[in-house]
Amino acid sequence: MNVDKAVIPAGGYGTRFLPVTKAQPKEMMPVLDRPTIQYVVEEAVEAGIDDILVITGRGKNAIEDHFDRSYELEAELEKSGKDDRLERVREITDLADIHYIRQQDRAGLGAAVQYAEDHVGDEPFALLLGDNFIESSTPSIENLVDVAEDREESVVALERIPWEEVPAYGIADVADTSGRSYPVDDLVEKPTREAAPSNLAIIGRYVFTPEIFDRLDETERSARGELELTDAMRELSAIRGTEIEGDRYHIGTVPDWLEANIRMALRHDDGQLNETVRRTIEDELDRGNGGV
């Protein structure tokens, strides 16, 4: 089996990030100099997947504009001889072969994935959530693709998270976590801490065989009225989990986004930027701000 298509759901309302997401997609929130979704597209491309379907919706036009040509801007940069900036603008457009579909029924992640069926057809595909990205030496999705191609099964990326964060994630029940990948026995979406079978969380990277579309069709909406991808995954004939290494940045809420920017700025020594962030934090802490 060969995985050569990726799907990025980006149709959610981003309600946990209001009001900034009222007129702007959550996936366009910047981390340093790029919108979050660009890191996600780059991850897929680095893993050798350049056929990408983005599931968008009303109010998400900025995503399409970002990856589209901007003739006026390019002409302007060319005229003023700003070659390095021109190159960076063009790089975005040349990144991948990006397709879009607008989600009408915004009833959860499972409903978003259903919109991909026509594009991916009867083939396996990678799924990368558009509101988080992972920095690692090998693109995280590549690890999943390797396992999926080797085992011919669906694969989900897992990470051990602090127990207090468990209610915000889909959680896996796994009997034996030895080995590079292992069978997942069961999954539960956003359990209470007490009900959670483990602290192994689904972190938004998956590879699915086309069987997922049949399972989604059979899945009933959850108590919160959403078609949960996790519920459909429970019914797959087989699914493996694999833990991936790297730094994960989740852009779900203001604290998440702030943390992502600070961590990225400190880790990517970009001339003055790193120093400015470090000095600002130290100054604020010295002045007794920041809750200390």
| Binding residues for ligand G1P (CB under 6 A) | 109, 129, 132, 169-170, 189, 201-204, 229-230, 250, 252
Q: Report d(CA 152, CA 46) in Å as an integer.
A: 22
Give min distance, CB of 226 to ligand G1P, in A. 9
Give min distance, CB of 116 to ligand G1P, in A. 16
Give min distance, CB of 109 to ligand G1P, in A. 5
Pairing of strands 239-243, 132-135: unpaired
For residue 134, which of 142, 124, 122 has the smallest C-alpha distance?
A: 142
In the complex with ligand G1P, the residue whose CB is nearer, 77 or 140, is: 140
Token pair, residue 113, equals 């994935």
In the complex with ligand G1P, the residue whose CB is nearer, 59 or 167, is: 167
Backbone phi and psi for residue 273, each to the nearest 5 degrees, phi listed first? -55, -50
Give min distance, CB of 214 to ligand G1P, in A. 19
In the complex with ligand G1P, the residue whose CB is nearer, 86 or 202, is: 202
Give min distance, CB of 12 to ligand G1P, in A. 7
In the complex with ligand G1P, the residue whose CB is nearer, 37 or 109, is: 109
In the complex with ligand G1P, the residue whose CB is nearer, 142 or 189, is: 189
Per DSSP (E only), the strands in the chain are 5-9, 30-31, 34-35, 51-56, 97-102, 125-128, 132-135, 154-160, 170-173, 182-183, 186-189, 200-208, 239-243, 247-250
Give min distance, CB of 72 to ligand G1P, in A. 36
Give min distance, CB of 161 to ligand G1P, in A. 9
In the complex with ligand G1P, the residue whose CB is nearer, 31 or 203, is: 203
Count of other CB atoms within 10 angstroms of residue 87: 10
Token pair, residue 114, equals 């259903």
Token pair, residue 231, equals 């519920």
Q: Report d(CA 231, CA 53) in Å as an integer.
A: 23
- The residue nearest ligand G1P at its CB is 170
Give counts: helices (H), strands (E), the chain.
11, 14
Q: Are 33 and 80 contacting, i.e. CB atoms less than 8 angstroms apart? A: no
Give min distance, CB of 190 to ligand G1P, in A. 7
Angle between helices 71-79 and 83-94 (to 10 degrees): 160
In the complex with ligand G1P, the residue whose CB is nearer, 50 or 256, is: 256
- At residue 269's C-alpha, the angle toward residues 267 and 270, to 5°, is 130
Token pair, residue 238, equals 């087989």
In the complex with ligand G1P, the residue whose CB is nearer, 5 or 250, is: 250
Backbone phi and psi for residue 226, each to the nearest 5 degrees, phi listed first? -110, 150
Indicate the DSSP class of residue 12.
Answer: -
